[in-house]
Amino acid sequence: MSDFTSAAPITIRTARPSDEAAILDICLRTADRGQDGSHCYSDPRLPGFVWALPYVRLCPENAFVLTRGEEVMGYCVAALDTVAYEQRLEEEWWPKLKAELRAFAPTTPQDENVLAYIRQTPRTPPQVTDLYPAHLHINLLPELQKGGHGSRIISQQLQSLEKAGLSGVHLGVDPRNESVTSFYGKFGFVEIDRTPSIVMGKKFP
C-alpha cells in the first residue's frame, strides 16, 4: 500500500452500484467474528449475498460506505422496517439467490449454514420489531477498526434512522464475538434477546 493511499482522506458517502464488489469482499473479510472469513466459504460471495448486498439493492437510501480515497473500506447498511424488508427478501431476493446458487455444491460447514439460512430464513420476532422496527449491519476492514471510523459511520446511520421518525433500531451480534457489545453500548444499545445471536436494541427519543 502506498503512502499516498494511506494518507488519503477517509469519508462517508451513500453506496453506489459500483461498490457492490467491494462490499461483498468486506463482508467476507470480516465474516469470521470480525476477521477474515475467506477460509470459511468456497464461494466468497456467500456471506455478502445474505448480510450485505440485499440492503444495497433494496434499501439504498440507508446504505453508507466508508472510503479511503476511492477505496471502499467499510459499510453500514440498514432497513427502516424489518418486517417489510424480510417480506421483500422472501418475494424478491431469496428466489433469485436460490436460482443463482442452484448448481452450487457446498464444501464447508459455513457454506451449508448459508444455504440452510436461504432455504428457511427465520423472521425477526414481533417482540423485537414492535419496539425496534429498524435494524442495521456494520462491517469495517480491520485496518480501519480503530481510530473512531466505526463510530462515525454508525452515528451517521443512527441519525438517518432517527430522522425517519422510528421508535428504535436493533442489531445482532455473534455470541463468539461478544466483546463488540461494549462498542454498541456506547450508542445506547442494550441486550434485549439471545436467539442464540445477541440481539441489541436502541430506542430513539
pLDDT at 56: 98
pLDDT band at 195 (very low <50, low <70, confident <90, very high): confident
The amino acid at residue 176 is R
Overall average pLDDT of the 46-63 stretch:
98
C-alpha cell at position 162: 432517527
**Which CATH number is 190's domain given?**
3.40.630.30
129: domain range? 3-203
Average pLDDT over all residues of the chain:
95
pLDDT at 1: 44
Give dist(CA 184, CA 43) in Å, integer: 30
C-alpha cell at position 12: 462517508
User: 24-28, 91-95, 112-116, 173-177 — which is least confidently predicted?
Assistant: 173-177
pLDDT over 90 at 5, yes or no: no
- Residue 175 is classified by DSSP as G
C-alpha cell at position 93: 431476493
Number of domains in the chain: 1
- Whether the Cβ atoms of residue 92 and residue 58 lie closer than 8 Å to each other: yes
pLDDT at 2: 43
> What is the per-residue pLDDT across 79-115, written as a single tens digit (0 to 9) for each?
999 999 999 999 999 999 999 999 999 999 999 999 9
Identify the residue with better confidence: 203 or 5.
203
pTM: 0.93
Overall average pLDDT of the 187-201 stretch:
95
pLDDT band at 34 (very low <50, low <70, confident <90, very high): confident
Give dist(CA 168, CA 112) in Å, integer: 33
Beta strand residue intervals within 50-159, DSSP E: 63-68, 71-79, 134-140
Overall average pLDDT of the 188-202 stretch:
95
pLDDT at 168: 98
pLDDT at 6: 61
> What is the per-residue pLDDT across 108-163, written as a single tens digit (0 to 9) for each?
999 999 999 999 999 999 999 999 999 999 999 988 888 899 999 999 999 999 99
pLDDT at 61: 97
- Whether the Cβ atoms of residue 204 and residue 162 lie closer than 8 Å to each other: yes
